[in-house]
Amino acid sequence: MKPAPAHVDCRFVMALCRPGFETECSGELMARLDHAGINGRSVGSLDSGQVRVDLDNIHRFELLDRAIRLVSLTFSRQLAFGFGHADGLAGKDRVSPLLDAAKQAGTPFSAILVEAGDGAEQRPLAALGRRLEPALVRAFAKYSVLRPRRTELARLHIHLPAPGSAWLGLSAADNASPWSMGIPRLRMPSQAPSRSTLKLVEAFMTLLTPAELELTMRAGQRAVDLGAAPGGWSWHLANRGLRVTAIDNGPMAPQALATGMIEHVRADGFTWRPDGSVDWLVCDMVEQPARISRLVADWVASGRARRAIFNLKLPMKKRLEELERCRRLIDDRFRQASLGFDLRMRQLYHDREEVTAYLAPR
């Protein structure tokens, strides 16, 4: 038997992204819908970090959940399929209208996430959401609309686009971020040489499942870091117990070298090659995305690295087209090697005009 949310009728898609990247975020959603033969139009506002695509027809949750997979999206941090609205939330009692609107789904939920865009104007809404959540959890549990132990049930997302209104949607646990607003709360380690450390920490948490990470990353493994200085990424890998060769003509921070796990080689990351193969390649060189993609694809398709995490800088306007070009270049190199591959790209919370990707043979 299918879990209950499969049959909920949905009218829109709701996503959260980095403010300023709404066009890319909705462009990807529209492409997935188009591919599934579903028509819709984007109604999100610029710089809000919040995107909504209204569907021309009502579709079942199950169909939308199959058509749009978060793992295939680069610019969405969070994803849910919308079934209702609540307005008139400006009064003292915001809980009752939200409870009434949530009941329209006709199914209980395993969790409630009250979320807002990450844009400057939306910050007070995110704060309102954090204040509202405990009261909602109490009320929803009282009326058995919330059943935290039934993890097979969908999660309820309440997005706050404005102080007086809310959009309500559903997600399955395997097709949404586990973190509210799709943002993992990470603390900067005091010894880390640069804030870039957090980008790699987030990449491992976001681009791989915990089970995949356990399987593929172990102390004692060997890694190469291309464009390593001042050493935030190398430092993180060293802290996970990996031996790192850090390639950069620039200087590495003393605290990175003090780990005793990092060998600094002053060389060009495009021409340097290791003896034998390594478990992980990471690359954060500031270069054209196509050039980085070609390089990383060659390392992984040739078996020089078993898997890679790499960053693509996207200062250009046509970002979706540029990423498509990168995908094609990677595809070409793996075809040459007669290999399949797994490529996941995401604009992380710690990414600015850039995205971070994971590549491995399939």
Ligand X SMILES: C[S@@+](CC[C@H](N)C(=O)[O-])C[C@H]1O[C@@H](n2cnc3c(N)ncnc32)[C@H](O)[C@@H]1O
Question: Which positions are catalytic?
Answer: 313
DSSP annotation of 146: B
Q: Does 231 bind ligand X (CB under 6 A)?
A: yes
Query: Considering beta carbons, is residue 47 or 287 the nearer one to ligand X?
Result: 287
Closest CA to 262 of 275, 274, 247, 282: 247
Question: What's the min distance (Å) between Cβ of 176 and ligand X?
Answer: 29
Q: Which is nearer to ligand X, 76 or 196 (CB)?
A: 196
Distance (Å, whole) CA 187 – CA 75: 23
Alpha helices in the chain (DSSP H): 22-35, 61-67, 95-103, 123-142, 196-207, 210-216, 232-239, 254-257, 289-301, 319-336
What DSSP string runs through 103-115? HTT-S-BSEEEEE
The H or E element containing residue 155 is: strand 155-162
Residue that the structure tokens 């050039």 belong to = 291
Give the type of residue at 166. Answer: A
User: Shortest gap between Cβ of 292 and ligand X (angstroms)?
Assistant: 10
| Interface of this chain with ligand X, residues 155 to 214, rule: CB under 6 A | 193-194, 196
Closest separation in Å from C-beta 192 to ligand X? 8
Among 285, 355, 357, 359, binds ligand X (CB under 6 A): 285
Q: Measured between alpha carbons, how far is 258 from 29 in angstroms, rounded to an integer?
A: 45
Taking alpha carbons only, the member of 58, 47, 49 closest to residue 13 is 58
Q: Which is nearer to ligand X, 26 or 196 (CB)?
A: 196
Residue 284 sits in the site that holds ligand X (CB under 6 A): yes
In whole angstroms, the minimum distance from the beta carbon of 263 to ligand X comes to: 15
Q: Are 268 and 289 in contact (CB under 8 A)?
A: no
Among 71, 215, 286, 316, binds ligand X (CB under 6 A): 286
With contact defined as beta carbons under 8 Å apart, do 333 and 181 qualify? no
Q: Which of residues 235-274 bind ligand X (CB under 6 A)?
A: 247-250, 268-270
Instruction: Say how far apart CA 349 and CA 105 lie, in whole Å.
Output: 31
Among 82, 117, 182, 232, binds ligand X (CB under 6 A): 232
| Residue number, 182 or 230, with CB nearest to ligand X | 230
Q: Which of 49, 108, 129, 230 binds ligand X (CB under 6 A)?
A: 230
Ranges within 21-60 binding ligand X (CB under 6 A): none
Q: With CA atoms as reference, report the closest residue to 253 among 264, 240, 237, 242.
A: 264
Please, what is the minimum distance in Å from the beta carbon of residue 226 to ligand X? 6
What minimum distance in Å lies between the beta carbon of 235 and ligand X? 7
Q: Which of 3-11, 28-36, 72-80, 285-293 is the region at the interface with ligand X (rule: CB under 6 A)?
A: 285-293
Q: Does 84 bind ligand X (CB under 6 A)?
A: no
The helix/strand/coil state of 198 is helix
The count of chain residues that interact with ligand X, using the rule CB under 6 A, is 21
Instruction: Check if the beta carbon of residue 44 is closer than 8 Å to that of residue 52.
Output: yes
Interacting residue ranges for ligand X, rule: CB under 6 A: 193-194, 196, 227-233, 247-250, 268-270, 284-287
